Structure 1
Amino acid sequence: MTMQPLDVSWLCGEYAEECYSFIYIRATPEQVVSRLGGRWEDFTPGPFPDDPDDYPDLGESIGVTSIGDWTFVFDPAWLGTREDVITELSEGTSLVSQAALGVKGIEDFYWCEDGEIRFAFGSDDGYRTEIPDELVGTMAEIDRLYPSFHQFYEGPAFLLVERLTGIRVTEQLLKGSTLMWGVVPEPAKP
């Protein structure tokens, strides 16, 4: 598979000052909301925030939408970095999560299968797991495309998302999607 760099300048620009978690789960939006403790009937449609100033406040709401066989979750906080939450969400399915606060260079990336973390990367400690055999070629291709060290959220994370989910995340995809917005309970601290 030949990869092409993605233009994520829109997300690394004005959005860089805001925290985000993008979570991709191979399940329906209704299943994901239920697993998070929310009620699907309480969610209402709306767009992806066109401006970071339109992000919901922390603890307010998340946005979910279907992209192919996957559900995309937008959380304006760190839900996608909670290992207890993402491993539980991935039970019986696959999950990929990326989170960043670009202005501070903070980022996390996870790939989980059936409740188990297969691959993890974080800005504080780099690779938290060994690179699984099925990602070795992908990581070599990413190193070729980004020969000098880049923050994961400046492109490499999105290429891994594409490799693991088949979803090529673009500004047009997200801003052209209708998300269902609603509140889920704050997960208990482990």
Structure 2
Amino acid sequence: MTSTPASSATAADYGWIRSAPSLFGHLLSTGYSMVLVRDVLPEQVPGLVGASPWGSCRGAGELVDAHGDFLEECDDDPESTLLGASAVRDAEGRDWALVVDLGGDLGLRPGPMAALSAGTRAVAHYSNAGKPMDFFHWYEDGELRTAFEHPAHRDGTTPDELNGVLRELGLDPDGDGDPALDRKAAVLALTERLTGVRVTVELLEAAEYLASELPEEPVDGSDGVRIHLVDEHGAPVVIESTWDR
């Protein structure tokens, strides 16, 4: 892998995501994107992705409460999502921004992800609520290097570069892999392998989050409806309908 910080993280290091009451448990129930961006400050995130400042939240509890207030203001039918960005460091002491999109799809948006990763690295994982779809995206200098939902079906400019690490983590790039493996935990371990940042309950609970409002992706023109979907590899699929007014 290209200039990857040393990490020996495994899925077992993230077993807490299914049991510990935490911000991550909330995210799994509501849907989320989580993005780690190297050498980017939390206050830079809104400008890079086109979000509007919302306020600051001291700790995960305040962020969850802010998300509830946000949904209430939107009558539970939001046309935007709430981001929380906090400053974290990797094992080598390098600065990263941890960006949480509550209920949103930031990690699936090529434009914002390219902007976040310009001149640096960004790694994202995503889950929707309800019937789960889970995606992983690795960007380097604005370029999508590797993306997948199922590890055996990968996209990006270097879809096979992570294969060795995928095998080490039990995410078989050639087949079904271990059915007993918690693939979400393994994806968090993969993210740590690429970033050197270990996400823990304590980190999420104690962080100070700069909150901002991220609108849905704009629709060009005013004579149609555009529905944003993703295929099994995490690539965007756009279904567009037009009508006469």
Shorter-chain TM-score bucket reads 0.7 to 0.9
Residues 25 and 90 of structure 1 are in contact (CA less than 8 Å); yes or no, is this contact kept in structure 2?
A: yes
Q: Matches of 1:67 and 1:45 in 2, distance apart?
A: 15
1:94 pairs with one of 121, 138, 144: 121
What is the aligned partner in structure 2 of residue 148 from structure 1?
179
What is the aligned partner in structure 1 of residue 205 from structure 2?
175
Q: Matches of 1:52 and 1:64 in 2, distance apart?
A: 13
* Gap runs ≥5 in structure 1: none
Pair 1:61–1:88, CA change in 2 (3 A): same
Pair 1:144–1:187, CA change in 2 (3 A): closer
* Residue-pair matches, total: 186
Q: Matches of 2:81 and 2:123 in 1, distance apart?
A: 22
Residues 57 and 63 of structure 2 are in contact (CA less than 8 Å); yes or no, is this contact kept in structure 1?
A: no
What is the aligned partner in structure 1 of residue 163 from structure 2?
136
TM-score, with structure 1 as normaliser: 0.81
Query: Percent of aligned pairs with the same residue?
Result: 26
Q: Matches of 1:151 and 1:3 in 2, distance apart?
A: 14
Deviations 1:7-44 (A, max 9, x none): 2214775653210110111111122222123466x532
Q: Matches of 1:95 and 1:24 in 2, distance apart?
A: 5
Q: Matches of 1:54 and 1:38 in 2, distance apart?
A: 16
Deviations 1:111-169 (A, max 9, x none): 0000101110125x84234221xx2331121118973264632x111011100111111
Residues 138 and 147 of structure 2 are in contact (CA less than 8 Å); yes or no, is this contact kept in structure 1?
A: yes
Pair 1:75–1:14, CA change in 2 (3 A): closer
SS at match of 1:140: helix
Q: Which has the larger radius of gyration?
A: 2
What is the aligned partner in structure 1 of residue 192 from structure 2?
162
Whose helix fraction is larger, Structure 1's or Structure 2's? 1
What is the aligned partner in structure 1 of residue 83 from structure 2?
62
Pair 1:187–1:105, CA change in 2 (3 A): closer
What is the aligned partner in structure 2 of residue 108 from structure 1?
135
Q: Matches of 1:2 and 1:182 in 2, distance apart?
A: 33
Indicate the RMSD between aligned Cα atoms, in angstroms.
3.1
The alpha carbon displacement at 1:50 in A equals 7.6
SS at match of 1:43: strand
Q: For structure 1, which segment, 22-31 or 111-120, has the greater mean C-alpha deviation from structure 2 after superposition?
A: 22-31
SS at match of 2:194: helix
The alpha carbon displacement at 1:187 in A equals 3.6
Q: Matches of 2:182 and 2:112 in 1, distance apart?
A: 24
1:32 pairs with one of 45, 58, 61: 45
Residues 3 and 141 of structure 1 are in contact (CA less than 8 Å); yes or no, is this contact kept in structure 2?
A: no
> 1:3 and 2:30 equivalent?
no
The alpha carbon displacement at 1:185 in A equals 4.2
The alpha carbon displacement at 1:2 in A equals 3.7
* Gap runs ≥5 in structure 2: 1-6, 72-77, 90-94, 221-245
The alpha carbon displacement at 1:48 in A equals 1.8
SS at match of 2:85: strand
Pair 1:170–1:50, CA change in 2 (3 A): farther
Q: Matches of 1:25 and 1:92 in 2, distance apart?
A: 11
